[in-house]
Structures are given as structure tokens and as C-alpha cells.
Amino acid sequence: MTVTFGPRDTSTTRAVEQDRLAEEFEQARPRLRAVAYRMLGSLTEADDAVQEAWLRLERSDAAIDDLRAWLVTVVGRICLDTLRARKARREDYAGTWLPEPVVTTEDLADPERDAVLADSVGLALLVVLESLAPAERLAFVLHDVFAVPFEEIATIVDRTPEAARQLASRARRRIGRTPREPDADLPVQREVVDAFLAAARAGDFGGLLAILDPDVALRFDGGGSGPLARPAITGARAVAGELAVRGRFFAGLARPAVVNGAAGAIVRLTDGLVVVAAVTVIGGRIAEIDLIGDPGKLHGIR
């Protein structure tokens, strides 16, 4: 489809074309939102990026031969700018910056849960993507996840197609050095998480040690301030010791939830604060625990 706005267009013709653009934009919105979430790790920022793409489309007078490709390019550029600005802001961030989780409770009807989780991706992968340079992340996400040609990616990062290919290759190598794939069976994950929470509630150091991966990582994100603004803890003995002492009250308030498609928990503290616990289970043991208490990332969770 080629859409051309010019001085000869009547107001009626332009209105018809705007309606058509709006309809096609809404059809493309789920894909654009999914691209932006994987790029930014934030549904809030993803929605902002998609909305900005619509505003740019409304203001554009250019001929657009392929609207979907044009929109992906625009969203990619917006996300790239956001990632670069975020990197500069995060130099003095206290704690670990973690992605915005996609959370549902496990008693929701399947259609509702499926709709909410449609944009989600495993939190463990999003954490790995955070370690990539912005251009590497864009090249990997657009090409390896959404099959965008390198010729189109090159225009976003202002490089040659071959350079864009190398960005994705570097990202792929770095991601390939990460741990094994998380266990896929949600009921099995839930059994492991329930056993973990029971051991934490009891202050059972040995029980925690038995269920934690030797290289487990416990990360905290309180938005850069507050009690969760602290360094990560790694290693089974260190994490088990921390949770056996400090995890009893926290685990006692935990309620089951699905976090980015995996078994996790929501903790509603007595002062009204909410913390989401995202848990990554690999080989029947807990390999990652991410505690997210940044209010800016927990919109709509009460």
C-alpha cells in the first residue's frame, strides 16, 4: 500500500486515508507492542513508544509503501533512543535494574490470562538482554525474534546491513553463554516455588539449600531507593542464609502468581507496598530470584 498526502488532497480524502491508517495501525499494534517490550523490558515504556509511533504517522506527509515495516522502523528508533538515555541515567542506580513484570494471578480464566501474557517473555531473557548494548539488543530482537531483515535494521542503527548482522551475531554469542533454558512446565515450576516458599517461611536453611541452584542469584529492584536498593546476592549458601533469616515474614505474605509466564508470587506488605517475586526454575532448582518493588513497574498490581 502506498499512502501519499500532498497539497492536492482534499480534506475528505485525507480523512478517509487517516481512517484507513488508524485501522491498519490498530492491526499492527500487538506486534509493535511486543517488539517494544522486548526492546525496553517495560510495558509502560512500550506503550509510550507505540503511541509516539502513531503520532509520527499522523504528522507524516511521506509516501509509505509498507506501513508495517515503516512502523517497526519508527518504533525501533524510539526504543533505541530510550535505551541510550536509560543507560546514561542508570550509572548511579542502587540495586539491580530489573524489567517491568507481566503479572497475572493463577486463578484467572485462561482467555484473560492469555491476553495479558501475549506480550510477555521470560524475565530471565529480559535480564540477559539488559546486558547488551542498545544497538546489539535491537539487532537481536528485530532479526532473531521478529525476522526483520538486516537491510531494514541497518537503517535504524545507521550502519551497513553487514554491520547490523554482526551486531546480532555478537548479541547471540553473549546470550549463548547464559544458563540453560528455564523449565517449561508451569505446574512443576509451581511445586518448586511452593517448596521454596515453605522452606523460607520455616527459616529452614537446609531446605532452602536443597532447592537452590549452586549458582543462584537473588536480585533486588526497589527503583533505586528503599530497602530493595541493595546489591545482588549470589551462591546457594549466601542466598539460603539471607532468606532463612529475613525471608520468613516476606514468604508468609506471598501469594501465587504467574510472572512473565512462569511461577512466581505477589507479596503485599502490611504498609501497602507490593513486591513481585519472579522465580526462574532450571532443572528442578531455583536459579534466579528477582524481587521487584519499584512502584513505577507495578502499575495496576494491588
The residue to which cell 495496576 is assigned? 300
- Tell me which residue of 78, 90, 87 sits closest to 45, measured CA to CA: 78
The torsion angles phi and psi of 298, rounded to 5 degrees, stand at -120, 40
What distance in Å separates the CA atoms of residue 216 and residue 239, rounded to the nearest whole number? 7
| Terminal Cα-to-Cα distance of the chain (whole angstroms) | 44
Strand partners, 234: 217
pTM, whole model, 2 decimals? 0.84
Strand partners, 281: 286
CATH classification number, 11-176, choose in 1.20.140, 2.60.200, 1.10.10, 3.30.2120:
1.20.140
Residue entry with cell 498526502:
5
Interval 62-108: pLDDT, tens: 788 889 999 999 999 999 999 998 877 766 788 899 999 988 876 54
If we measure between CA atoms, which residue out of 131, 133, 134, 140 comes closest to residue 172?
A: 140
Q: How many residues does the chain have?
A: 302
- Give 133's DSSP letter: -
Nearest to 125 by CA among 141, 113, 139, 112: 141
pLDDT at residue 179, as a whole number: 54
Where exactly does CATH 3.10.450.50 map onto the chain? Answer: 186-297
Instruction: Work out the number of other CB atoms within 10 angstroms of the CB of residue 260.
Output: 24
Cell numbers 512446565: residue: 185
Run of H or E including 27: helix 11-40
Please tell me whether residue 174 adopts helix, strand or coil conformation: helix
Contact 132, 171 (CB under 8 A): yes
Phi, psi of 257 (to 5 degrees): -155, 160
Instruction: Please list the ranges in the chain whose pLDDT falls under 50.
Output: 1-3, 5, 8, 108-110, 112-113, 115-116
CA dist., res. 108 & res. 127, Å (int): 26
The topology under which CATH files domain 186-297 is Nuclear Transport Factor 2; Chain: A, (3.10.450)
Tell me how crowded residue 271 is: count the other CB atoms within 10 A of its CB.
Answer: 5
CATH 1.20.140 placement within the chain: 11-176
